[in-house]
Chains A and B, each alone.
Chain A
Amino acid sequence: MKAALHAEWTKLRTVRGCLWLLVGMAAVTVAASAAATSVSTCSSPGCGGDVTLLSLFGVEFGQALAAVLAVLVIGGEYGSGMIRATVAAVPRRGVVFAAKSVVVSGVVVAAGTVAVLGSLLAGRFVLPGRGFTAAHGHAPPSLADGPTLRAAAGSVLYLVLIALIGLGVAAVVRDSATGIGLVLGLLYLLPVIGGVVGDPGLRRVLATFAPTSAGLGVRATTDLAGLPLAPWAGLAVTAGWAAVALTVGGVLLKARDV
C-alpha cells in the first residue's frame, strides 16, 4: 500500500494540470466568496444573514474543480491507456483505488484548507464594509467561534467528499469528459430541479438527499433549524454518496478489464 501510495503521489505531482486545478479550486472558491460578500448588504440591526455561510459561498463553485481533478485522476489514465501500466505495476486494484482516494483526499484537504481560510479572511475583510458590523449584530467570522470552526472544517471535508464522488464516478464511466459531465450535472442539477418543484414534501426530499444541498448546510452557523438536515447529518448524506460512488467504482474496477 505504501508503494502504491507513493506511486500515485508521484503520478499526481508530476502532472502540471493537477496543480493548476488545485490552485484554481482555491482561487475560484476565494473569488466567488469575495464576490458574494461584496454584493451583500446589511443596512440595519437585525438584518439577518449568516456571515460565515456568506463567506464560504464560493465552496459552491470550488467544488466543481475538486470534482474535475478527481475525475481526471482516473479518467486520464483510461484516456491514455496508462491504467494498464498502473494495474500491471500494482495488480491489486483495490489497493490502486484506495491509494488514489487517499492521495486525492490529501491534496484536496490541502487546497481546500487554503480555499476555506482564504474565503473566511476575505469575509473578515469585506463584510464590515458592507454593514455586517458589531453595531448591526454581526461579528466578523472567526475560527475561535465554535460553529464557524465547524463550518470551516466541514467545508474542507465536503470538498474531499465531492472529490471522492468524482473518483467513483470516473471509475464507473472510465472517461474523463463523460465523468466530468455526469459529476457536475449531479452536483448542480438536483438543486436546480429543487427550485422548480412546487410540492414542499418533494422539495424537502430533494434538499435532504442531494449531495450538494445536504452537505453544503455544514457552512451554516445561524438559523440551523431552517436547514433540511443538521450540519453534520447533512455532511453524512454527502459522505453516503461518496461511499456509494467509491464502492461501485471500486467493484467495477476490480471486475472489469482495463
Chain B
Amino acid sequence: MIASRSGRDGFLPVLRAEWTKFRTVRGWVAAMSAAALMMVLVALLAGMSGGPRNGSPVPIGPGGEAVTDSFYLAHRTLSGDGGITVAVASLETVLPSGPGGMEPGVVPWAKAGIIFKRSTDQGSSYVAIMVTPGHGVRMQYDYTGDIAGPASPTAAPRWLRLERSGDAVTGYASADGTRWTEVATVRPRDLGGTVHGGLFVASPASVDGPGTLPSVSTADFTGLGVHGGWSAADWTGTQIGPDSPTFAGYPPPASGAFTDDGGRLTLTGSGDIAPATREILATGGTLRDILTGTFPALVAVMVVGTLFITTEYRQNLIHVTLTADPGRGRTLAAKAIVLAVAAFATGLTGALAGGLLGTWLAEAGGVYVFPVPLSAALRVALGTAALLAAASVLALAAGAILRRGAAAVTAVFAVVVLPYLLIAVPFTPSAVSNAVARMTPGAAFAVQQTLTPYDQVDSVYTPYTGYYPLEPWAGLAVLAVYAAAGLTAAAVLLRRRDA
C-alpha cells in the first residue's frame, strides 16, 4: 500500500514527532517518573523491614551460596591421606502424622553414607558418597556438586568407600564389598590437611503440596573399616548445625542419635547437606522481591501506553496524526518505539536504583539476600526494563485495537496483571501458576529470577517462591511474542479501518 516514495527516510521525522507528542503531555512523563519512583520506594519498603537480627547466620558454602548444613555425623579426624569403607545395611524414614505421631514414609533424597568434611562448622568444604532411597548412589561435594553413581539395587547392603589422596578424593560403590565401581574423583575447594571423616545421615523435608514436612531417617551401618592417618579416638556423634536458619529442627519427639552396638552402628538424623532453597530459607530475601515495585510500575507504563493512542481516538487527534503522516503502520511503529524506549529507561532506572538500595538496606538490616552474580543482576535490571517496554507496547496495541482507553486498560490488566497476581499469591496451585508462568504474558517475570533450582534438592519450586518454569530470557520472549502479535494485529486493523 505504502509507496516506496515514503520509505525509510520518512521514518525519523515521524519518530521525532511521536517523541515530541509523548514528552509534551505532563501527565505521561509524570506517570513514567512515578513508575520508577514506585520501584525504588517499594524496594526501600521491602529492604527496610529488618530480619531476625539476633538469629544464627545463614551458612554459606565455599561457592558463596546459602546452604543447608545440618545433619547427624559420627566422626573422627583424618590427617593426610586415608580411606574409609562401610556398608549401609538399611535406611528408613519417618514423617510426622497427626499431633505427636510418626509414620514410615519415603523421602527420595534422604542420605546415609560417608563423608570427609573440613570441619564441623557449617558451610565448610566436604565430599561424601551416599545411598539415597530415590536416586541411587550419589557422590556429592561442596553442596552443589552432585554425581550419580550406580543405580541402587533394591536389596541392601550397599557398600561405599572414600579414598583421599592429596587434594583428590575418589568414591567407590559396590553391591558385595568385593567388586568395586569407581564413581568419580573430585577435588573439593578447601578440604584442608586434616578432615573430619565418618558416617552421616541426613533427612531433608518432604514436599507436601505447597509446603513441606520435616522428616527423620535412621540408617544402620556395618563393616566399617578405615586406613591412613585416622585419630585413635572413638567415633563421636555430633549434630552439625543444630541452630540454623536453614534447619527446622527435629519434629518432636524425634532427635538425632548415634549408637555403636558392637560393629553395627546406627545413626538417626534430620536436615540436609545441600544448597539452600527458598522454601528452607524462607526469611531470605531475593532481588525479585525487592523489585516488587515492578508491579505498580507495570500498571503505570501500561496505562500510559494505552492512553498514548486512545486519547488520540477520543479527541479525533488520530485524524491529524494520520494526515501528518499517512503511513499508518509507520506511525504505530514510531509510537511503539517511543513508548518502549521511555518504559525501558523507566524500568532500568527503577530496577538499578531500587535493586541496589533495597539490597543494601536489607543486608544492613541483617536480612540474608540470596546472592546474585553480577551477570544475573544485570540480566534482572535489563530484563525488568525490557519487561516494562514490552508491556507498554502490548498496551499500545490493545489501545489501537480497542480504541477506548477504559476497555484497553481493562484488557491489558486481564492479560498481564492478572497473571502476575496469580503468580504472586501463595495459594495458587503450582500447576496453575506454572502454566500461567509458561503461557501468559506473565511468563516475563521469569526474567527477575535469581534463585537456582537444584536437581538434588526436592523443594517447592513454584513461581510464587521465585522459581519460574521458563528460563529468564525465554519468559521475556513470551511477552515479546504477545506484544509483537498485538502490534501486528493493531497495524493491520489501523490500516484496514477508517480512522
In the complex, chain A residues whose CB is within 8 Å of the CB of B367 = 198
Interface residues of A in 64-94 (CB under 8 A from B): 64, 68, 71-72, 75-76, 79
In the complex, chain B residues whose CB is within 8 Å of the CB of A181 = 299-300, 302-303, 409, 413
Q: How many A-B residue pairs have CB under 8 A?
A: 92
> C-beta contact mask, B75-105 vs A, less than 8 Å → 1, else 0?
0000000000000000000000000000000
Whether A196 sits at the interface, judged by CB under 8 Å, is: yes
The answer to whether A177 and B310 touch across the interface, beta carbons within 8 angstroms, is yes
Nearest A residue to B291 via CB reads A196
In the complex, chain B residues whose CB is within 8 Å of the CB of A197 = 45-46, 49
Nearest A residue to B38 via CB reads A189
The answer to whether A185 and B296 touch across the interface, beta carbons within 8 angstroms, is yes
Question: B338 to chain A: closest CB distance in Å?
Answer: 18
Whether A188 sits at the interface, judged by CB under 8 Å, is: yes
The residue that A199 contacts in the complex, of B49, B295, B310, B421, with Cβ under 8 A, is: B49
Question: B445 to chain A: closest CB distance in Å?
Answer: 12
In the complex, chain A residues whose CB is within 8 Å of the CB of B404 = 176
Whether A247 sits at the interface, judged by CB under 8 Å, is: no
The answer to whether B296 and A189 touch across the interface, beta carbons within 8 angstroms, is yes
Nearest B residue to A72 via CB reads B406
CA distance A156 to B413 in the complex (A): 23
In the complex, chain B residues whose CB is within 8 Å of the CB of A61 = 418
In the complex, chain B residues whose CB is within 8 Å of the CB of A192 = 292, 295, 421, 424
Interface residues of A in 159-197 (CB under 8 A from B): 175-178, 180-181, 184-185, 188-189, 191-193, 195-197
The answer to whether B49 and A176 touch across the interface, beta carbons within 8 angstroms, is no
The answer to whether B417 and A188 touch across the interface, beta carbons within 8 angstroms, is yes
Q: Known contacts being A68-B410, A178-B303, A192-B424, is A198 close to B405, with CB within 8 Å?
A: no
Stretch from B282-290, B343-351, B370-378 contacting the other chain = B282-290
The answer to whether B432 and A39 touch across the interface, beta carbons within 8 angstroms, is yes
The answer to whether A180 and B45 touch across the interface, beta carbons within 8 angstroms, is no
Chain A: residues with Cβ within 8 Å of the partner, total of 30
Question: B362 to chain A: closest CB distance in Å?
Answer: 8
Whether A202 sits at the interface, judged by CB under 8 Å, is: yes
Question: B314 to chain A: closest CB distance in Å?
Answer: 6
Categorize the interface residue count of chain B: 35 or more
In the complex, chain A residues whose CB is within 8 Å of the CB of B225 = none
In the complex, chain B residues whose CB is within 8 Å of the CB of A189 = 295-296, 299
Question: B425 to chain A: closest CB distance in Å?
Answer: 8
Whether B139 sits at the interface, judged by CB under 8 Å, is: no
Whether B175 sits at the interface, judged by CB under 8 Å, is: no
Interface residues of B in 432-478 (CB under 8 A from A): 432
Whether B50 sits at the interface, judged by CB under 8 Å, is: yes
In the complex, chain B residues whose CB is within 8 Å of the CB of A193 = 42, 45-46, 292
Question: B460 to chain A: closest CB distance in Å?
Answer: 15
The residue that A180 contacts in the complex, of B51, B290, B409, B426, with Cβ under 8 A, is: B409
The answer to whether B314 and A184 touch across the interface, beta carbons within 8 angstroms, is no
Pull 15 A–B residue pairs with CB atoms less than 8 Å apart, ordered by A: A68-B410, A176-B404, A177-B303, A180-B409, A180-B410, A181-B303, A184-B417, A185-B300, A193-B45, A195-B424, A195-B426, A196-B42, A196-B292, A197-B46, A198-B50
* 11 other A-B residue contacts (CB within 8 Å) besides A185-B300, A192-B295, A193-B46: A39-B432, A176-B404, A178-B27, A180-B409, A180-B410, A189-B295, A192-B292, A195-B292, A196-B46, A202-B45, A202-B48
